[in-house]
Amino acid sequence: MKIDAVDFFYVAMPEVTTDADGSQDALVVRVAAGGHIGWGECEASPLASIAAFVTPMSHGACRPVSASVLGARLDSAADIDAIAAKVAYDSMDLLQAPHTWSGIEMALWDILGKARGEPVWKLLGYQKAFPKTPYASRLFGNTPQETLEGGRSARAAGFKAVKFGWGPFGTGSVEDDVAHLDAAREGLGPDGILLVDAGQIFGGDVEAAAKRLPALERNRTTWFEEPFHAGALGAYAALGARTSSFRMAGGEAAHNSYMAEHLIDFGKVGFVQIDCGRIGGIGPAKAVADYAVAKGVTYVNHTFTSHLALSASLQPFAGLEAHRICEYPVAPRQLAVDLTSNHIVPNANGEIVIPDAPGLGIEISAAALERYRIDVRIEIDGKPIFVSPHA
């Protein structure tokens, strides 16, 4: 097969707010090759990612992603690896390239699976896909009462685990954060699995983050996610060394597998969380999963958008029976819901079953692409180099 076309669909809610909610817009990628259509999703600024695909070459190490993708062969996983290596080398100074390539890479796996009649996880070498325990991923409430109610509603919906993140956490006093943590535990009940995401709010300030440790420990938190900047590896290790009751977590900001490995080796995280829409796609995520297994670290998917991205995020660790917990966006914006014609929903046991259909097993809604589309036209010297396609 040859890659014949790559199309980008910039879709967004009518109003995009400052909420830390990535489901408010999306960049969906459609790739055509060998008579098959594959779909992927970039987890980044849509317009900047489109630009990385079509931008004119600046120099030999700053070429557009399109130069490495269009016309390339796609007959095996090795071909995807070869294209990835070419993008990494020829676009190394184009810093948005990994995000743009991530969505394309997902679509290539989707095509390869459809062409072979197999789910992506089988192409990755797994013989079986094990059920996962989803955690409801939601923002902290604006008040402790809202956080409490969020925990209760998630448990009522059947979720055994809930992650609260961002929102007001870390922006006010220690007492404010303690109130939210206590409310989260109360809402979950004594047996609920509590996960906390600080959204990098403390930068590299270990002492500020450490003031929350007693409340995190008392409320039996399973992990404390991203209290620091993604590159503050020493801070991760230092804070993690101050407690034995829970482990540090992070990795969603990794734009390549090396960054994730460094977080494991030097940040000493116990959970590594990878977003296929940022790290370069499914292949690099699978490499991190393999590395995590070897290092005794638990691999967890990261996704907060559509079920296309959710399916892609599950493939790299589908066959890891002991790595069971997975992120599940429980309250996305309507765009993310409408974007796909089918969805991955918890079964009667409250578990997620990874699609067994060819490719990623998710169908994109053409109607949603049209309803939420943002028209984009990029010109240079009056000549268009990108015009939004139609579904």
Give the pair of three-digit tokens for residue 151: 């925990």
The closest alpha carbon to 201, from 218, 180, 222, belongs to 180
**257 phi/psi in degrees, rounded to 5:** -65, -30
In what side-by-side order are the strands of the sheet with 161-165?
298-301, 271-274, 247-250, 221-225, 193-197, 161-165, 133-139, 325-329
Question: Quick one: CATH architecture of 123-338?
Answer: Alpha-Beta Barrel (3.20)
The pLDDT score that the predictor gives to residue 316 is: 98
Question: Contact, 135 vs 162, CB < 8 A?
Answer: yes
Rounded to whole angstroms, the Cα distance separating 263 from 267 reads 4
- For residue 385, how many other CB atoms are within 10 A of its CB? 17
Q: What is the DSSP letter of 140?
A: P
Sign of CA dihedral 165, 168, 170, 174: negative
Which tokens go with 286? 């699978």
103: part of which helix (H) or strand (E)?
helix 97-116
- Alpha-carbon distance of 315 to 338, in angstroms, equals 22
User: What's the pLDDT score for residue 132?
Assistant: 96
Give the span between the Cα atoms of 330 and 333, in whole angstroms: 10
Residue identified by tokens 């990994």 is 98
For 187, how many CA atoms within 13 A lie in the half-sphere containing its CB?
30
pTM: 0.95
Question: Within a 10 A sphere around the Cβ of 190, how many other Cβ atoms?
Answer: 7
Q: Which residue type, as a one-letter code, is found at position 360?
A: L
Q: Can you give the residue ranges of every domain in the chain? A: 3-117+366-387, 123-338
* pLDDT in single tens digits along all 391 residues of the chain: 999 999 999 999 999 999 888 899 999 999 999 999 999 999 999 999 999 999 999 999 999 999 999 999 999 999 999 999 999 999 999 999 999 999 999 999 999 999 999 999 999 999 999 999 999 988 999 999 999 999 999 999 999 999 999 999 999 999 999 999 999 999 999 999 999 999 999 999 999 999 999 999 999 999 999 999 999 999 999 999 999 999 999 999 999 999 999 999 999 999 999 999 999 999 999 999 999 999 999 999 999 899 999 999 999 999 999 999 999 988 889 999 999 999 999 998 899 999 999 999 999 999 999 999 999 999 999 999 999 999 8
The pLDDT value given to residue 105: 98
Question: Could you count the other beta carbons within 10 Å of the beta carbon of residue 172?
Answer: 11
Q: Which CATH number fits domain 3-117+366-387: 3.30.390.10, 3.40.50.2300, 3.40.50.10800, 3.30.70.270?
A: 3.30.390.10
For residue 13, the model assigns a pLDDT of 94
Closest of 159, 258, 140 to residue 199, by C-alpha: 140
Collect all residues with Cβ–Cβ distance below 8 Å to 67 and sequence separation of at least 6. 57, 90
Look at residue 146 in the predicted model and tell me its pLDDT.
97
